[in-house]
Amino acid sequence: MAVAKDSQPPVSYPFRGSFAHYDEAFESAGLAREHYAQYFEEFLSLGDQEIARRWDKARRRIQEDGVTFCVYGEGREEERAWKLDPIPLLIPPADWARLEQGLRQRAELLDHILADLYGEQRLIREGLLPPELVFGNPAFLRPCRGTAPVEERRLRNYAADLARSPDGAWWIIDDRTQAPSGVGYALENRMAITQVFPDVFRGSPVARLVDFYAKYRDGLLALEGARQDPSRVVVLSPGPHNEIYFEHSYLARFLGFALAEGGDLTVRDNRVYLKTLDGLHEIGAILRKMDDDFCDPLELRADSLLGVPGLVHAVRRGNVSIANMLGSGVLESRALMPFLPLLCRRFFDQKLILPSVATWWCGQKDELKYVLDRFDAMTIKAAFPSPRMNPIAGRTLSAKERERWIARIRRRPHLFVAQEHVALSSAPVWENGKVEPRHLTLRCHAISEGKAGGWSVMPGGLGRVTASAESTDVSMQMGGGSKDVWVLTGQQTDAPSALMLSINSGPVILSRSARRLPSRVADNLFWLGRYVERGRGLIALARAALQKTEEEPGVEELLRIRGLECALERWTGMAEPSAENETPPPDDLETKIGRAIFDRNAPGSLASTLDAIRRTARPVSDRFSDDCWLLLNRIENVLGDGGETGSFAAEDGRERLREMTVLLAAFGGMVDDGMIRSPGWRFLEIGRCLERAANVAQLLQGTMAGQNENEAGLIGAVLEATDSAMTYRLRYFDQASAAAAIDLTILDESNPHAIAFQLSRLIRHIEKLPRRGAGGATTEMVRLLDLHRQLLCDDPHRLAAPEADGAREKLDELLSRIREDLYRLSEELSLAYFSHSEPARQLRNTAPSRPASPGQSAFGATPLEDGGGL
Amino acid sequence: MKYRIEHRTDYRYSRSVAIGYNKACLTPLTTPFQKVHASLLRIEPRPEVFDPYVDVFGNTVLHFAIQRPHAEVAATAVSEVEVFPRANPDPAATPTCARTRERVRQHADGETLDACEFVFESPYIQIGRSVAEYAAPSFADETPVLAAALDLMRRMREDFEFAPKATTLTTSLVELLENRKGVCQDFSHLMIACLRSAGLAARYVSGYLRTLPPPGKEKLKGIDFSHAWIAVFVPGSGWIELDPTNDLICATDHVSVAVGRDYDDVSPLRGVVVGGGRQTLDVSVDVAVIEPPGQSQSQTQTQTQRKSQSQSQSQSQGSGQSQSQRQSPPPAGK
């Protein structure tokens, strides 16, 4: 199929009359630009159906890989699948050469300005920058003055948002200099597109991204503090609540650095350390994905709970390199834009290659007048990154609002800039089987090479498109999507490799441990193990209960499994204090099971347990493969959203529970299978064993330990709920014996569902953990060993013997002790291995100049002593 | 005037603190009219990190960290400071508000360039409409800048009541303007906001004020407080310190410790702890005169000269309203 040459357009592409804006792919309706011609030929030759089929697969992959971003709104955040369009943005070689050159120059310029603002401030003294832009700028962080590295670049990663004007020229609309996002998503986009359209990709000469990431990594390793040692570098993330947490973890994994949250790092002796299970491990360089002012509650934003107290001082003392340097957000001020051409002359005696969108800073008299004279043609924006403000288009205001805005601008003119209205270009997207135009901006990244070398621009980037043809807002929060960006080169390039390993010239240092394990990761793995087991146990219990109601729906049978029902209720925390003697109506149990499965609000329900699994798995997702996420997402799909009502069709329910059992077991197995046998894995196992033992103990205590009317039915249900029915049948056929059931579920060390089995595994794992503090076994460990010994020697007949009232006190006693010991063990492990993860708190002299109450101020005579004079 | 100042802060925690990071702004400033003879900071328990530095405003800040479990911290600053009289310009002869504004805007010299740092909003200084409206009557373009500032200070004295419990650190200037009650910190913030709303440069000064015992009584130890006041930039004369709480121009009764844009830059002790549970705080300050003016032996000729100038100045103040205010409770320094 030929494009561009035929008079008949192969793609119907609705253009709005004449060309009010530039279109990336078409010169006119149906006439594709030269550099798109071949692409369209390949792409469209696949046919609508094939494109749709492949794209469906890609979307599923994105969802199942957990490529997400968070949407905030109405009090809760929601995770959404990343939105990617199948048609890439193509940039021809000549265009790109100019963009690349312009981005390099701008990155270099901004780096110079940054060095000056946090150093000598000559630009202000020479009158090249008004002091308002610095001293009146909330993004200028005074504690960071004097911390700008001299021999290294201050900026390591610079990003620009670009738009193309109707005449085809690129303009910079925003500079991103704190912790620019998009480097990870761009890579993910490329992987997705090349996997689904390998043929189309191979047909075009597209520049590879891999070298860029290699240079990114090398640049970070070249930082003073990193000393070329990857274990001295971390990626600092605000954590899973951040909208683009996915990218942080993806990038950390791809670059091969540990992902840390503020709580994983601690400052000791003015040095930064990663808290690991083996103790504190020194960090020399931080790639921070956190805004400037959140990084240190001691010297920056006091209410930040995300940062690392003492970090600024560690930087001040030269003990850690931060990319980008703290305080670099000052460059994101739009008010700087009008001054860049002059500064470019001042520093390099060059013309600014890439212009910024026309911007007037209202802090200057003439500019203010100019803006107010043409108010209707202007978009008013905040001059500085904070406080945030939505852009105001002059022409959309009512007379009254207009007046109010003008008064506001006149009162504090330096806080505002006016920009020319930006007419974004359009680019084709594939929507509902059709090619349609959407407005587009482009985010490009540059990174500094080596210690203080030149700039390397990612040959590609992140295309961002609006949700509709009319909208001009590309933000994902507002429903926008993304595009892969293909930078076309003159010649054919190599096929991309998924692993993207590169041959490095240096000698390789062999290593058996991937990285040191942060304590928080161990904490998460421990709870992941517990939640997975909790979910599994709950499904088994629900299946056992459901089976009973289906097979024998009689009232008598329900009474028999009352014990089981009690366990279920207690487990999910839904027990109601009523109805000790009432016989529940036959469908009541089903409702309860329904709630135990679906109700997200019931703590301990399957739905909320799955939430907890996600919550604990996400921060450690760099520890297991994408396939694990696929399984989790499948479970979620099987669970469905029937939960709102708690309705539950029994036949269907059984089938779904069965499927979930298999998927959850597969998830557990896959996590286990792919994991290095490190202390992290041990914590996962410890969590799992601990939870299983506690659950079995709880179940037995709620059933076997009490007085029961129909023992045989109950024993059957209990055996099923503990996954031991099959073994029991093999050993005892149909003979119902309490002693035999107790032996199998508690004492038999060879049954992987018995408590004794869990205890012996716990002991094995705990013994292998890194030691904390003084040697020797801890109290809890001694108790655990003692308990284990008791289980091995105990007599099942003794435990099964009922008292006069029919209850089994000995059994009850033992189960209580087991539960108590397990609880204490869990507490002790938390204290010993995780508790320094406790978040820091702000402490402030709340009333330094306010009078203390009488009687509190009697600390007079303190002798003058040393303590280090100032 | 020579002082010995002892400023002690005690933190107690209900649970043990694993590690605590702090920055302390407790070392008095060295200025042309203030000499620090000795200043010691003692932290108990002894911190593993004890690392002083000079911040962007020229204050000496102590960064310290206690890295082992502790349930209480005592920070004691003991300083011997001598304050000399200074010559303040005749308010009526200072440049006009319009001229001052213009000089700062042009920032052609080092002096005005430094002042630029103190013209804008800062964490505690939000210049809303109500602030600007309150300030406006004092700052006609043609009024000499220092006279305008003194007028504002006089009006504030009339309009506001000193009330220790009326405000907290989070009370906004808008609320303060509504309730008209507060302490030295509030008055200083408001006055700075008013000055900046008029395009003038103003900064926050933290320090101590000499207090006099009630008539006929001995001065008690540890009953003093840290104090706050402001400094306004006057071209040609530099920073002139004014105490809006007591409606006076600062002389030798004020010992300055730190300057900044507002309280946030100079808070005496700021910290972050890991663990700790509930915390209680005690602060005690003692400002003792160890050498009254005239008894100092180490004065140079010029300093003696300046002192005699200021004696007359403080006498003129003494006969005024401020002196009686300082002698009667509530104590002035808040």
Nearest CA to A814 out of A840, A838, A796 is that of: A796
Query: Mean per-residue pLDDT for B47-55?
Result: 96
DSSP A278-332: TEEEEE-EEEE-S-GGGS-TTTS-TT-SSS-TTHHHHHHTT--EEESPTTGGGGG
Contact between B272 and A317 using a beta-carbon 8 Å cutoff: no
Query: Mean per-residue pLDDT for B160-170?
Result: 89
Q: Which of A156-170, A597-611, A811-825, B281-295 has the lowest mean pLDDT?
A: A597-611
Q: Which residue of B has its CA nearest to A856?
A: B282
Banded model confidence at residue B292, pLDDT cuts 50, 70, 90: confident
CA distance A857 to chain B (A): 5
Backbone Cα Rg of chain A: 32
Contact between A145 and B63 using a beta-carbon 8 Å cutoff: no
pLDDT of residue A514: 47
Nearest CA to A556 out of A591, A578, A584 is that of: A584
Residue A494 or A338, more confident: A338
Distance from C-alpha of B74 to C-alpha of B282, rounded to nearest angstrom = 9
Tell me the average pLDDT of chain A: 82
AA identity, residue B334: K
* pLDDT of B328 over the 60 cut: no
Contact residues on chain A for B268, CB-CB shorter than 8 A: 845, 848
Tell me the average pLDDT of chain B: 86
Banded model confidence at residue A400, pLDDT cuts 50, 70, 90: very high
Distance from C-alpha of A444 to C-alpha of A461, rounded to nearest angstrom = 5
CA distance B308 to chain A (A): 32
Q: Which of A143, A411, A870 has the CB atom closest to B52's CB atom?
A: A870
Distance from C-alpha of B193 to C-alpha of B202, rounded to nearest angstrom = 8
Contact residues on chain A for B226, CB-CB shorter than 8 A: 848-849
Q: How many CB pairs under 8 A join A and B?
A: 180
Contact between B19 and A266 using a beta-carbon 8 Å cutoff: yes
pLDDT of residue A629: 80
AA identity, residue A869: G
- pLDDT tens digits, A148-206: 888 888 999 999 999 999 889 999 999 999 999 999 999 989 988 988 898 888 888 89
pLDDT of residue B217: 75
Contact residues on chain A for B332, CB-CB shorter than 8 A: none
CA distance B243 to chain A (A): 14
Give yes or no for a contact between B42 and B310, defined as CB atoms under 8 angstroms apart: no
- pLDDT tens digits, A718-773: 888 888 988 999 999 888 899 999 999 999 999 999 999 999 999 999 888 876 55
Q: Which of B41, B113, B279 has the CB atom closest to A870's CB atom?
A: B41
Q: Which of A223-232, A547-556, A696-705, B281-290 has the lowest mean pLDDT?
A: A547-556
Distance from C-alpha of B320 to C-alpha of A482, rounded to nearest angstrom = 72
N- to C-terminal Cα separation, chain A: 81
- pLDDT tens digits, B178-187: 999 999 999 9
| Mutation site, A121, A849, A850, interface B, largest B CB count within 10 A | A849
In DSSP terms, B308 is beta-bridged to none
CA distance A165 to chain B (A): 36
CA distance A351 to chain B (A): 27
Query: Mean per-residue pLDDT for A680-700?
Result: 91
Residue B87, SS3 per DSSP: coil
Q: Which residue of A has its CA nearest to B270?
A: A844
* pLDDT of A791 over the 50 cut: yes
> How many C-beta neighbours within 10 Å does residue A619 have?
23
Banded model confidence at residue B295, pLDDT cuts 50, 70, 90: low
Q: What angle do CA A832, A835, A837 make, to 5 degrees?
A: 135
Q: Which of A131, A310, A849 has the CB atom closest to B227's CB atom?
A: A849
Contact between B270 and A132 using a beta-carbon 8 Å cutoff: no
Distance from C-alpha of A731 to C-alpha of A751, rounded to nearest angstrom = 12
> How many C-beta neighbours within 10 Å does residue A303 have?
8
> Long-range contacts: A276-280, Cβ < 8 Å, 24+?
A276/A516, A276/A517, A276/A518, A276/A519, A277/A516, A277/A517, A277/A519, A277/A522, A277/A679, A277/A680, A277/A769, A277/A770, A277/A833, A278/A516, A278/A517, A278/A679, A278/A770, A279/A770
- pLDDT tens digits, B267-277: 999 999 887 77
Contact between A843 and B116 using a beta-carbon 8 Å cutoff: no
Residue B47 or A473, more confident: B47
Distance from C-alpha of A388 to C-alpha of A332, rounded to nearest angstrom = 12
Distance from C-alpha of B303 to C-alpha of B260, rounded to nearest angstrom = 27
Contact between A850 and B127 using a beta-carbon 8 Å cutoff: no
Q: Which of A838, A850, A862 has the CB atom closest to B164's CB atom?
A: A850
pLDDT of residue A861: 23
Give yes or no for a contact between A194 and A209, defined as CB atoms under 8 angstroms apart: no
pLDDT of residue A777: 63
pTM of the model: 0.79
pLDDT of residue A678: 79
Query: Mean per-residue pLDDT for A205-216?
Result: 90
Residue A862, SS3 per DSSP: coil
pLDDT of residue A495: 52
CA distance B332 to chain A (A): 11
CA distance B107 to chain A (A): 8
Distance from C-alpha of A493 to C-alpha of A588, rounded to nearest angstrom = 66
Give yes or no for a contact between B18 and A836, defined as CB atoms under 8 angstroms apart: yes
pLDDT of residue A641: 59
Per-residue CA distances from A757 to A212, A533, A716, A812 (Å) = 51, 15, 21, 19
Residue A76 or A110, more confident: A110
pLDDT of residue A850: 35
| Mutation site, B13, B78, B233, B270, interface A, largest A CB count within 10 A | B270
Percent of chain A beyond pLDDT 70?
82
* pLDDT of A559 over the 50 cut: no
Distance from C-alpha of A327 to C-alpha of A155, rounded to nearest angstrom = 11
Q: Which residue of B has its CA nearest to A145?
A: B56
AA identity, residue A760: S
Q: Which of A102-106, A561-565, A664-668 has the lowest mean pLDDT?
A: A561-565
Residues ≥6 apart with Cβ < 8 Å to A823: A694
* pLDDT of A781 over the 70 cut: yes
pLDDT of residue B117: 94
Residue A861 or A171, more confident: A171
Contact between A849 and B281 using a beta-carbon 8 Å cutoff: no
Q: Which residue of B has its CA nearest to A860?
A: B222
Give yes or no for a contact between A795 and A746, defined as CB atoms under 8 angstroms apart: no
AA identity, residue B42: R
AA identity, residue B168: T
- pLDDT tens digits, B190-205: 999 999 999 999 999 9
Contact residues on chain B for A297, CB-CB shorter than 8 A: 272
CA distance B214 to chain A (A): 17
For the ranges A566-570, A785-789, A838-842, the one whose mean pLDDT is highest: A785-789
N- to C-terminal Cα separation, chain B: 21
pLDDT of residue A493: 57
Give yes or no for a contact between A462 and A121, defined as CB atoms under 8 angstroms apart: no
Contact between B225 and A411 using a beta-carbon 8 Å cutoff: no
| Mutation site, B10, B11, B120, interface A, largest A CB count within 10 A | B120
Handedness of CA A346, A348, A349, A354 (dihedral sign): negative
Contact between A861 and B39 using a beta-carbon 8 Å cutoff: no
CA distance A769 to chain B (A): 23
Banded model confidence at residue A263, pLDDT cuts 50, 70, 90: confident
CA distance B305 to chain A (A): 31
Contact residues on chain A for B272, CB-CB shorter than 8 A: 297-298, 309-310, 840-843
Q: Which residue of A has its CA nearest to B186?
A: A849
Percent of chain B beyond pLDDT 90?
69
Record the tokens describing residue A77, joined without a space: 């955040």
Q: Which of A267, A861, A870 has the CB atom closest to B27's CB atom?
A: A870
* pLDDT of A507 over the 60 cut: no
Contact residues on chain A for B228, CB-CB shorter than 8 A: 849
Let me know if B194 is exposed, middle or buried by CB neighbors in 10 A (0-12, 13-18, 19+): buried
Q: Which of B11, B20, B222 has the CB atom closest to A858's CB atom?
A: B222
Phi, psi at residue A203, to the nearest 5°? Answer: -70, -15
pLDDT of residue A384: 94
Q: Which residue of A has its CA nearest to B260?
A: A142
Contact between B40 and A862 using a beta-carbon 8 Å cutoff: no
Record the tokens describing residue A331, joined without a space: 């460059």
* pLDDT of A94 over the 70 cut: yes
Residue B168 or A356, more confident: A356
* pLDDT of A492 over the 70 cut: no
Q: Which of B23, B169, B206 has the CB atom closest to A299's CB atom?
A: B23
DSSP B7-76: EEEEEEEEEEEEEEEEEE--SPPPBTTEEEEEEEEEEESPPSEEEEEE-TTS-EEEEEEE-S-EEEEEEE
pLDDT of residue A141: 96
Banded model confidence at residue A598, pLDDT cuts 50, 70, 90: confident
Banded model confidence at residue A568, pLDDT cuts 50, 70, 90: low
CA distance B239 to chain A (A): 18
DSSP state of A584: P
Contact residues on chain B for A843, CB-CB shorter than 8 A: 11, 20, 22, 270-273, 276, 279
Residues ≥6 apart with Cβ < 8 Å to A208: A459, A493, A494, A496
pLDDT of residue A835: 57
Contact residues on chain A for B270, CB-CB shorter than 8 A: 298, 302, 843-845
Contact between B113 and A847 using a beta-carbon 8 Å cutoff: no
Q: Which residue of A has its CA nearest to B287?
A: A860
Contact between B274 and A270 using a beta-carbon 8 Å cutoff: no
pLDDT of residue A412: 86
pLDDT of residue A470: 81
Q: What is the ipTM of this complex?
A: 0.86
Q: Which of A145, A847, A864 has the CB atom closest to B56's CB atom?
A: A145
Record the tokens describing residue A213, joined without a space: 């990431």
Helical H segments across B160-221, by residue range: 173-179, 184-197
* pLDDT of A239 over the 80 cut: yes
Contact between B6 and A313 using a beta-carbon 8 Å cutoff: no
Record the tokens describing residue B133, joined without a space: 């409206």
